Amino acid sequence: MNQTVCALRFFYGVTLDRAEFPERIVYARTPRKLPAILGADEVVRFLEAVPSLKTRVALTTAYAAGLRASEAVSLKVADIDSARMVLQVRHGKGAKDRTVMLSAALLAILRSYWRLTRPNDWLFPGRGPDKPIDVQVLHSACRSATKAAGLTKKVSVHTLRHSFATHLLESGTDIRIIQVLLGHANLSTTARYTHVATSTIARTPSPLDRLDIVVTPLA
């Protein structure tokens, strides 16, 4: 339908030079679907099905902090602020920086991961230490883990982000806090997770704290 609309708008607006017509020929709206959400047990099954330690920790971090795939792979060791228990997200969507909570459970996982892999600059380095892991590696890992875990839902890194927001919402976190954590410019974008409560970023627990999961080998 939109192809036809584009043709008609071009015909009237350009070919016939009738500028008043195109605005009256509206595009068809794409139905907005609710995102797929994983339950807590499904998150555990999914993450434990990721075979690679690096990608498992990266995807766990994405869930624990509500990160986009590009934000997870761009994390540096210096972005982990254990003193203030926050993560610094650099150059997120719209080239904006933001601060998210650092879960105590995630900090323990990251420390164990660091002892095992010793990354210097990038938290999740690629094949060479001077570049981060490619975002497509996470997407591929998601597809493999979904199949290995026997999940019927289509799971992506963004599914983990949606699940992060929904699980916070279910635990009573203020939607305005969730907006800040997700880096949404408008509250209306976060409103699909609608709920109201009060808290602060520093004291907001990550849903990862509620999971019984082993991501890195026990020391």
User: What topology does CATH give the domain 33-210?
Assistant: hpI Integrase; Chain A (1.10.443)
Catalytic residue among 45, 161, 162, 167: 161
Residues 6+ apart with CB under 8 A from 7: none
Beta bridge partners, 81, equal 86
What pLDDT is recorded for position 192? Answer: 61
Residue 67 reports pLDDT greater than 90: yes
* Mean predicted confidence (pLDDT) in 193-209: 57
Lowest mean pLDDT among 39-43, 170-174, 211-215: 170-174
* Mean predicted confidence (pLDDT) in 199-217: 74
Q: Quick check: pTM over 0.85?
A: no
Residue 5 reports pLDDT greater than 90: no
Residue 196 reports pLDDT greater than 60: no
Catalytic residue among 76, 139, 158, 195: 158
Residues 6+ apart with CB under 8 A from 119: 77, 125, 129
> Catalytic annotation on 193?
yes
Catalytic residue among 93, 98, 111, 176: 93
Catalytic residue among 12, 63, 113, 193: 193
Enclosing H/E stretch for 54: helix 53-65
Q: Where in the chain is the domain with CATH 1.10.443.10?
A: 33-210
Say if strands 80-81 and 86-89 run parallel, antiparallel, or are unpaired: antiparallel
DSSP result, 156-208: -HHHHHHHHHHHHHHTT--HHHHHHHHT-SSHHHHGGG-------GGGPPPGG
What does the pLDDT look like over 73-109, one tens digit per residue?
Answer: 999 999 999 999 999 998 767 667 888 999 999 999 9
What does the pLDDT look like over 110-131, one tens digit per residue?
Answer: 999 999 999 999 999 998 878 9
Catalytic residue among 68, 113, 162, 167: 68
Top pLDDT among 188 and 157 is at 157
> Catalytic annotation on 195?
no
Confidence at 132, pLDDT banded by 50, 70, 90 = very high
> Catalytic annotation on 93?
yes
Q: State the greatest distance between any 2 C-alpha atoms of the chain, in Å, as a whole number.
A: 74
> Catalytic annotation on 143?
no
